[in-house]
Amino acid sequence: MVSSSEISARLAEAEVLLRAADQQRSEAAAADRRYALKLCKNVSVGVEDRRKADIALTVAKQIFFYSTDLFDAVEPSALAVGYARLSGESDLLRHALMVQAVLLTDLGNVADAFVALEEGLGLAEAAAEDFRGRAIAWINFGKACYTAYYYADALTAYEQGKAYCDQAGLRDDGAVALQNIALCCLELNRHERGLAAIREAINLMGEPVTPTQHFARVFAEATFVRLLLADGGRHVEARERLVFAKRSAERGASVRAELAVAGIEGLLQVYTGSADLGREIVLAHLERARAVPSTIRTALLTAVQALEHAGDAATALSYHREFALLVKRQLREKVLQYTRRQLLAIQDPDRAVGSHAIEAHAAALRARYVNEGPQTAGAAENFLLSQAMMGEAEWDSAGTHVFRVGELVRRLAQAYGLDESTCDAFARSARLHDIGMTAVPRSLKIKSGAFSLEEWSVVEKHCDDGAELIGHCALPYRDFAEAVARHHHECFDGSGYPDGLRGSAIPLSARMTALADLFDVTTHDSRHAPALSVDAALTLIEQRSGSQFDPELAKLFVGVVNDLRAQHGEAHLDEILSIDARESAMSRIRARIRR
């Protein structure tokens, strides 16, 4: 039996280690954080839970800020939530949930981030006049929506967060909300609203003094310049803002800040007619950014924007390709991390949930971070689903297309006579059919005109990219999902891509998904065409039976859709097919944002 004094001494040692490790990036500091967490985990459940939650939170935050591998923060953030829940202190639990949500958002697992955010917001709203808690929750909702490319929802969430910042007197957090409002407006082409927001943000920030303040000011000014350039080329004011950005970059002595300034300076030169000089600056900025991994994505997109504006489409396309390869590599690394942690957790369940210390919450935590079967949406599956939704966000702002396609495939598989386990695997696989689109640059996805042959080659690779990504993941239905991602654009007569397969050589799951995908895409408005009626879409499928689609499956699919609308009515088809989407935390919060 460990005495209370011994327990207190252990936790005190952990706290001392973490104070010494603060702001340190060394391996010794990382080892101290791991040992501090181990000390915390070895204390029995129900003992010093508040203190253990604080320790786990500190470990998670330090890893977030000072480590190169954010995945190392997953366990301590989950532990912090578990300990905070056991402590019974709702304010502590809300804070732990927000930390976990920010981490999951940065790891690309937006689906799980929304689960944590929903609970955290509920706790803040349950506390009388907890305006700060509500402000932080809404700002984090905005970040999650922005990460998922749901810019309109992100804008609304940030505006709600700013309103609560005003009520709570949170000047700094209000400035953060305003900067992000400006970024959303830049993406949504609401330039005047964005300019008003960034001006107000800079006023709230005041004159920068510390390196951190100078760093923040540089990025605010960079957003300011981009908005001015987008708003009809307000070049004189853009030059004035560039001066402020340069001054803060020099005083802040940050490589990232200097790179941000170089990027907007190159853009400004291109937009003001000095294309050769601007091109030189932007490409030099890109070469420097290659040595700073966290800046390379922005540098590539800046290069593409500058080169396209300068009329150098061929070079811009080469950087489009590099961007796609970069995104694919980053996604693959995340999938491998999730898979490695799943395998470790299966071999050693205590590692997944942080030992016996939170036994009361072990099952829930393990379900979130370990795939135990086809009915369990583990972190890896939720990450992939988040990426699939993000890949289609430009033309599916509601985020329900993947769910409707999945449900249509489920019902078609049932009509075909497959067992329920296979039907479920097919449905889950179909949701991931376009996950490879995540690696396609946004500028190509929102292009209104026809693609050039070179641009089409970039888009077409989404099949191979999606299959490769899924192939690295330990999903229980991986083979089906990989086949769907690779072959859903094959045609029954062999005229499709990427492999030109024909007939039954095309995997059954992919043949089914092709039908569901075309039906859902054509019955909803898109950038390229207005929605068809259900009858018109079914007629199109019948016309392409034998060429694009398997004739047997096409006939069966038409019957499935007709049965659905006979049973529920045509007006309710979307409601029936997207029921799984509506039951997710992401959909509930986004629906609330839109009210």
- Distance separating alpha carbons of residues 157 and 146, to the nearest angstrom: 10
Q: Read off the tokens for 100.
A: 């976990």
Model-level pTM?
A: 0.81
- Distance separating alpha carbons of residues 541 and 518, to the nearest angstrom: 8
pLDDT score at 341: 61
- Distance separating alpha carbons of residues 551 and 544, to the nearest angstrom: 9
- Distance separating alpha carbons of residues 174 and 354, to the nearest angstrom: 36
- Distance separating alpha carbons of residues 392 and 428, to the nearest angstrom: 16
- 97 near 368, Cβ under 8 Å? no
**Which residues share a beta bridge with 549?**
545
pLDDT score at 358: 40
Question: Could you say which residues of the chain have pLDDT below 50?
Answer: 343-377
pLDDT score at 340: 63
Q: Read off the tokens for 479.
A: 């083979």
Which residues, at least 6 apart from 397, have a Cβ–Cβ distance to it below 8 Å?
A: 150, 152
pLDDT score at 83: 94
Instruction: Quote the Cα angle for 196-199-202, to 5°.
Output: 150
What digits encode the pLDDT tens for the residues 60-100?
999 988 887 788 898 999 999 999 999 999 999 999 999 99
What digits encode the pLDDT tens for the residues 248-289?
998 877 788 899 999 999 999 999 999 999 999 999 999 998
Q: Read off the tokens for 440.
A: 């396609």
pLDDT score at 339: 64
- 296 near 290, Cβ under 8 Å? yes
- Distance separating alpha carbons of residues 433 and 78, to the nearest angstrom: 30
How many other C-beta atoms can be found within 10 angstroms of the C-beta atom of residue 394? Answer: 18
pLDDT score at 427: 97
- Distance separating alpha carbons of residues 366 and 350, to the nearest angstrom: 9
Q: Name the 3-class secondary structure at 88.
A: coil
- Distance separating alpha carbons of residues 227 and 201, to the nearest angstrom: 14
Instruction: Quote the Cα angle for 310-316-318, to 5°.
Output: 155
- Distance separating alpha carbons of residues 394 and 444, to the nearest angstrom: 10
